[in-house]
C-alpha cells in the first residue's frame, strides 16, 4: 500500500511556490495576516476547481470533513471558514494570481514547444485571438454593466495552438470592443495571429505588420480594394482566387497604405465563400485557408473552460473576487497541463480533471491513476486472530 502523499499534495507539488511567494510579496498579499495566508487561499481556489465546489459553503463543509488531513494537504490554517475566505477574496489583490498565471504559462509553453501544430509543418508560432463573454447578474455585480438589464465581463484570450495554452489573457468589462485588445498585445516577429472580422482595424493591423508579425483574418463585405495581381490557383481544392490588392477607401488607405493579399475559398462543408486577408505573401493560398480554420481552436477552448472550470458561479461579488477566481482557474488549467506533460500522461485534460475530482484525498501515486493496468492488491499478512471454523 502506498503510504506517501495525498493526490492533492502531489498535484500542488508541481507549483513553483518560490515564484508564488514573490508574487504575494509584490502586492503585499500577506500584510498583517496571521491566519489564512495567500498560500491557503490558492489551495482553496485549487481545491474548488478540482472538486467542482461552487460556493464558499461547499468548500467549508468539504474541508471541515477532512480537517484532520488539512496540514498534509498543504493548508497551514487549522480551520477554513467561509467568512475568512470571503474577506480574502474581496481584499487581496487579484494581480497576485494574474502574475502567477503568467509564470505558469511560460513554463507550459516551454514544455509544449516541441509539439507540432496540427498538420501545418514549419509554422512554430501560431496564435488564435478571440474573446468570450461571461454573463453576470446586474443586481449582484453592478460594477460590470453590459446592457440595460444585464452585466458581463469579457475574457480576451490569445491561444497558442501548440498545446492550446493561453499565452495572453485580458479581463475587461462587457462593453469593451474586441478590436481594442490589439492595443494591449506585444506582437512577436514572425508569429501568425488568426482573428475573425471583429478585429479588422487596418491602423492596428499595420502595427502588427510593422513589428514583422503576420495576421490572417476575414474581410468585411463592405471593404473597398483594387486588384493589382492574380496568382494561379487550383480550383479543385476549393480556392477561387489568390490576389494582391491595395485598399482604396479613404480611411482604410490612411491606416494601411501597403499591399494586402486576398484569398477566396469556397468551403465544401458549408458551401460558403470565405474571403481572407493577410500580409503574408510566401505561404501557399491553401495554407492560409487552413490557418483560419484552426481559429476554431480558441472557440473550443472557451467552451472547455466554461464547462469544466468554475468560472460561471463566483465566490464573491466584488470585481477583485471575480478576477481572482478567474485567474486562479487559469492557474489550475495550466498547472494540470504542466502535470500532464511532465508525467507524460496520455489521458486528456478532461479525463485528468474527472479522475482527480474523485481521488484528491487518496494516497495513490499520481501516475498510477492514469495507467491502464489495474492496481494489484497486495497479499494480506496472516492474522493472529483464530479462525472459528478451522
177-212, pLDDT tens digit by residue? 999 999 999 999 999 999 999 999 999 999 999 999
Strand partners, 296: none
Band of residue 327 on the pLDDT scale cut at 50, 70, 90: very high
Mean per-residue pLDDT over the chain, rounded: 88
pLDDT in tens, 230-246: 999 988 888 999 999 99
pLDDT at 376: 44
- Write down the pTM of the prediction: 0.86
Give the pLDDT of residue 163: 77
Buried b (16+ CB within 10 A) or exposed e, 180-208: ebbeebebeeebbbbbbebbbbbebbbeb
pLDDT at 2: 58
User: What's the pLDDT at 310?
Assistant: 83
pLDDT category of residue 313 using cuts at 50, 70 and 90: confident
- pLDDT of 385 over the 50 cut: no
Tracing cell 472557451 back to the chain, one arrives at 302
Predicted pLDDT at 221: 86
What pLDDT score does 373 carry? 44
pLDDT tier for residue 56 given thresholds of 50, 70 and 90: very high
Quote the pLDDT of residue 121.
59
The domain ranges of the chain are 7-95+315-370, 196-294
Mean pLDDT for 25-46 is: 91
Amino acid at each position: 500500500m502506498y503510504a506517501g502523499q495525498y493526490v492533492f499534495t502531489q498535484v500542488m507539488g508541481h507549483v513553483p511556490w518560490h515564484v508564488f511567494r514573490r508574487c504575494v510579496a509584490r502586492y503585499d498579499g500577506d500584510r498583517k495576516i496571521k491566519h489564512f495566508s495567500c498560500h491557503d487561499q490558492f489551495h482553496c481556489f485549487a481545491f474548488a476547481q478540482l472538486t467542482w465546489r461552487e460556493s464558499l459553503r461547499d468548500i467549508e463543509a468539504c474541508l471541515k470533513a477532512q480537517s484532520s488531513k488539512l496540514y498534509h494537504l498543504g493548508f497551514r490554517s487549522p480551520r477554513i471558514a467561509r467568512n475568512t475566505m470571503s474577506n480574502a477574496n474581496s481584499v487581496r489583490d487579484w494581480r497576485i494570481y494574474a502574475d502567477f498565471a503568467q509564470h505558469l504559462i511560460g513554463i507550459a509553453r516551454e514544455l509544449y514547444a516541441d509539439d507540432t501544430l496540427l498538420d501545418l509543418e514549419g509554422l512554430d508560432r501560431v496564435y488564435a485571438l478571440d474573446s468570450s463573454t461571461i454573463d453576470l447578474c446586474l443586481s449582484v455585480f453592478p460594477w460590470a454593466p453590459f446592457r440595460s438589464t444585464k452585466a458581463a465581463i469579457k475574457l480576451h484570450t490569445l491561444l497558442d495552438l501548440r498545446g492550446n495554452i493561453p499565452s495572453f489573457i485580458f479581463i475587461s468589462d462587457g462593453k469593451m470592443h474586441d478590436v481594442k485588445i490589439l492595443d494591449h498585445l506585444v506582437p512577436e516577429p514572425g508569429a501568425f495571429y488568426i482573428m475573425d472580422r471583429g478585429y479588422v482595424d487596418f491602423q492596428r493591423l499595420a502595427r502588427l505588420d510593422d513589428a514583422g508579425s503576420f495576421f490572417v483574418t476575414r474581410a468585411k463585405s463592405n471593404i473597398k480594394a483594387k486588384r493589382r495581381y492574380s496568382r494561379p490557383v487550383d480550383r479543385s481544392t476549393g480556392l477561387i482566387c489568390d490576389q494582391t490588392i491595395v485598399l482604396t477607401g479613404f480611411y482604410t488607405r490612411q491606416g494601411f497604405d501597403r499591399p494586402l493579399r486576398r484569398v477566396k475559398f469556397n468551403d465544401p462543408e458549408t458551401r460558403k465563400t470565405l474571403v481572407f486577408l493577410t500580409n503574408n505573401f510566401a505561404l501557399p493560398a491553401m495554407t492560409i485557408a487552413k490557418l483560419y480554420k484552426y481559429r476554431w481552436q480558441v472557440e473550443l477552448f472557451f467552451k472547455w473552460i466554461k464547462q469544466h472550470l468554475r468560472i460561471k458561479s463566483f465566490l464573491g461579488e466584488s470585481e477583485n473576487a471575480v478576477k481572482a477566481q478567474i485567474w486562479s482557474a487559469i492557474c489550475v488549467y495550466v498547472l494540470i497541463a504542466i502535470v500532464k506533460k511532465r508525467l507524460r500522461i496520455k489521458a486528456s485534460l478532461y479525463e485528468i480533471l474527472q479522475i482527480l475530482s474523485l481521488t484528491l484525498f487518496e494516497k495513490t501515486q499520481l501516475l498510477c491513476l492514469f495507467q491502464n493496468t489495474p492496481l494489484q492488491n497486495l497479499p494480506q499478512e496472516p492474522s493472529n486472530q483464530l479462525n472459528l471454523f478451522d
